[in-house]
A and B are shown apart, each in its own frame.
Chain A
């Protein structure tokens, strides 16, 4: 009861704070492509920590199976969406800021 609840609430809180960190990165970065890089923190670190903390809190039953399914879906779909977004922006003539500029 005690130590597992503590560890899972620590995971969930760190996950929520890393979502805030990713959003701050999206606000502060100068370019679209670097903003996309900062937004990936939300999709991977934040979602993984929160869902893994909830799995640890609930133990092994049908609820944690659904949580694992959500985790797998998020880990498959959000990098695909980020890749499509970067490819579409590059085709739409959005130039990245290079070092020489």
Chain B
């Protein structure tokens, strides 16, 4: 019962990669990579159930968190030109 959704999700991952390649501005590319990460989490979950090894859920959990952190870090780099710079006036930084 997991075969057909897994193949649909593989096709969606292919579409997200093509979107990341053909889009013009940097924000569209970041959006496509974010979509690709979310679909990858769902694919890892479904692949673990397909091969009857639900241990893959831990990897999916870690991947969801890494996807969020990488999106925020790339956005901060493109907005301020520096990852470690504070966006407000205080010197403590805002991460």
Interface residues, chain A, with chain B CB atoms under 8 Å away: 5, 9, 12-13, 15-17, 19-20, 22-23, 26-27, 32, 35-36, 39, 42-43, 46-47, 50-51, 54, 57-58, 63, 66-67, 69-70, 73-74, 77-78, 80-82, 84-85, 88-89, 91-92, 94
A23 x B15 contact (CB < 8 A): yes
List of B residues within 8 angstroms of A15 by Cβ:
5, 42
Contact of A85 (CB < 8 Å), options: B5, B27, B49 = B27
Main SS of the interface on chain A? helix
Dominant SS at the B interface?
helix
Enumerate chain B interface residues (CB-CB to A < 8 A): 1-2, 4-5, 8-9, 11-12, 15-16, 19, 25, 27-28, 30-32, 34-35, 38-39, 41-42, 45-46, 49, 54, 57-58, 60-61, 64-65, 67-68, 71-72, 75, 78-79
